């Protein structure tokens, strides 16, 4: 559903497009605005993803053939695991 403002803006853009040379095809201002908005959205999504990935604390599970006693031997005595 389009609002009155967007309909008015599209009407003005269409009339401006009619005044341009028909043999020259360019994306124009509207194409630039759409590209800039998509670029800004991707940048914000990547920034958010990086922030969330820094919070991830991933510890790989031991291999099935590895003895569980070997995992505890890697850590010095007295040092406890914190979550």
- The segments of the chain whose pLDDT lies below 70 read 1-2, 6, 8-21, 67-83
Cβ contacts of 27 within 8 Å, gap of 6 or more:
35
9 neighbors 29 (Cβ within 8 angstroms) = no
Look up the pTM and report it: 0.43
For the stretch 70-81, pLDDT in tens is 545 555 555 555
């Amino acid at each position: 559903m389009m609002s009155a403002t967007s309909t008015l803006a599209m009407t003005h853009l269409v009339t401006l497009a009619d005044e341009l040379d028909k043999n020259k095809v360019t994306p124009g201002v509207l194409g630039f605005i759409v590209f800039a908005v998509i670029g800004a959205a991707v940048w914000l999504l990547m920034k958010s993803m990086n922030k969330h990935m820094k919070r991830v604390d991933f510890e790989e599970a031991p291999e099935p053939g590895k003895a569980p006693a070997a995992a505890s031997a890697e850590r010095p005595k007295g040092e406890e695991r914190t979550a």
